[in-house]
Chains A and B, each alone.
Chain A
Amino acid sequence: MQTELRLVESPAKDWADEKLWRDGASTGRRGEVFALVYRQMQALAGRGQDLDDLVQMAAEQVFRALPRFEDRSALATWTYRICYFTLSKHRRWYRRWFKRFSYASDGYQTDDIDLTRLESSELLEQRERTERLRRALEQVSPKRRMVVILHDLEELEVEEIAAIVGANLHTVRSRLRDGRRLLAQALERDPYFGDAACGEEQS
């Protein structure tokens, strides 16, 4: 039976209440799970044209497996893991696809963005910075990029990241170190994230 999702207001701490997710499958709760998946997938994949597809694939897996969810990890870690593997699988397929086809545009989604946020030039500039950051992240290999995002931007612990990506702690740390170095190289000449700009603020 299909039930429509609704987004309900829920205190942030409710994310940790896994029992609610597992037992209650109310449409409101499911809506919040969907929002969680959306946020996580958007953090991992950015706002590419395939974000909706990725979110729907991951959400389907999450909803299907939710009754079997066990308490061996936090719900957010579990959904992150599903998002990570959905994204990895999808990007592998896309790499093959991109060998034969290409987007007509630059591949970034511009529709359905919350336009009310783009009210001032400062916000426009902020959006431009974010896109530059995303482009720099795209230059890092996927596995390292994921670890950098999860650790430095999503602020997850190394142990959680190891559980998400299915690697041991040393591998995660190694990917993090290499990813940071590559990202710094990619942002070296950036007017906002580059060494010069950051050095000025430091001084």
Chain B
Amino acid sequence: MKPLRDFDRAEGVRLRRMKASFDADRPGKAELLVAIRRYNQAKSRPGSIFSLRAAWVIAAAMMLTGGALGASSVLKLRSLTPSRLLSVPAHPGEQPRAAHSSGYVVERGGSRLEYSAPAKLTLLPGEHAALIIDNTRTELIGPGIAQIRNAPQAAHWVARFEPQVWVPELETQEALPSTSNNLSAGTKQETDPQDNSKTIRRTAAGHPRAGNLSVRRVDNTAPTAANPLDQSQLDGAWSRAASALRRGDDVAATAALGEISGGSDPAARDAAKLAQAQLDLAAGRRAKAMPVLNELAQSGATPFVRRRAQEIFVNGN
């Protein structure tokens, strides 16, 4: 026993008792023999067929096989390249579709850029952008910044992204050369089939702030070679604009007018612009409408547009 410098006498007694108990519990020969027998039994059991060495050999063989198959293109590994993301259409919950061709962005002035995500476009006050995704058109109204991030789905959903300026033509009802000047609000006025000017007049009284407005497609909207909208599309757009104004649907009217302004015909564009300015005035967006009216009064594409813009501008002031 070691000298017990650190112990008092009682602790010395305890240590001696502990030591005695500990020694008494040491394994005897019989216990050791039993332990050795158990050890021998454990060692004599057949080992697992997957010993550590065999596991290493199998793992190495699998790696070599996989590498060989990959090198010989038997196994095609999935790539995470952008081309894969763009080429795989993913429409949630619907049938798989054919992949779109890569989208494009039409800049101001008509120049077209290939879409490369992320796309970022600044919309000035009064400007409008059409985001066309899978034949679904979403209208964005400036001022603001429209940005499409490089999300995998957006990357192959985006078809076109077009900033545009509308040129609709809106006229107050009393200014129309109508045959029924005492039309009540909300009354639909069909086109006179004998009217060679092909004027479509629809009241916009359904709009809570528009007053008695009607949309008129003037005869300067004849399709041109550069106009992507044909005559039937143009008619449809004007009809949708008028219908939306009757319903008081400002956004839909704006969208329909935007379609009209998508053409390159300056007369149609200025007419849509004038209609939008009148719509803005009716909605109380005076600060947005007045510069447009001033510009149209000075440089409108047609005499009619210039005159109407001048009148409305003067009345508005």
Which residues does A use to contact B, with CB under 8 Å?
2, 4-7, 31, 34-35, 38-39, 42-43, 47, 52, 55-56, 59, 112-114, 116-117, 126-127, 129-130, 133, 151-153, 155, 177, 180, 184, 187, 192-195, 198-199, 201-202
Contact = CB atoms under 8 A, between A and B. Distances in A.
A191 B258 CA distance: 98
B2 to A, nearest CB: 6
Nearest to A194: B14
Contacts of A7: 29, 32-33, 36
Nearest to A116: B30
B40 interface: yes
B83 to A, nearest CB: 47
A43 B25 CA distance: 9
Contacts of A130: 21-22, 24-25
Nearest to B15: A152
B9 A202 contact: yes
Nearest to A148: B18
A43 B9 CA distance: 25
22 contacts: A2-B43, A2-B44, A4-B44, A6-B36, A34-B39, A38-B27, A38-B32, A38-B35, A39-B32, A43-B22, A55-B35, A59-B39, A112-B31, A116-B30, A126-B24, A129-B17, A152-B18, A180-B6, A184-B11, A193-B17, A195-B14, A201-B13
A126 B22 CA distance: 10
Interface of B: 1-2, 6-7, 9-11, 13-15, 17-19, 21-22, 24-36, 38-40, 42-44
Per DSSP, chain B at the interface is helix
A187 B25 contact: no
B1 A52 contact: no
Contacts of B22: 43, 130, 133, 153
Nearest to A31: B36
A153 B18 CA distance: 7
A43 B34 contact: no
Contacts of A117: 28
Nearest to A117: B28
Contacts of B1: 155
Given A55-B35, A133-B22, A198 B28 contact: no
B267 to A, nearest CB: 80
User: Which of B7, B10, B11, B38 is packed against the most chain A CB atoms within 10 Å?
Assistant: B10
Contacts of B31: 112-114
A42 B26 contact: yes
Contacts of B13: 198-199, 201-202
A168 to B, nearest CB: 19
Given A152-B15, A198-B11, A5 B24 contact: no
A199 B10 contact: yes
A151 B28 CA distance: 22
A177 B27 CA distance: 28
Contacts of A199: 10, 13
A129 B36 contact: no
A108 B36 CA distance: 20
A5 B39 contact: yes
A133 B31 CA distance: 21
A106 B272 CA distance: 90
Contact of A35 (B14, B15, B32, B40): B32
Contact of B40 (A4, A180, A187, A202): A4
Contacts of B21: 126, 129-130, 133
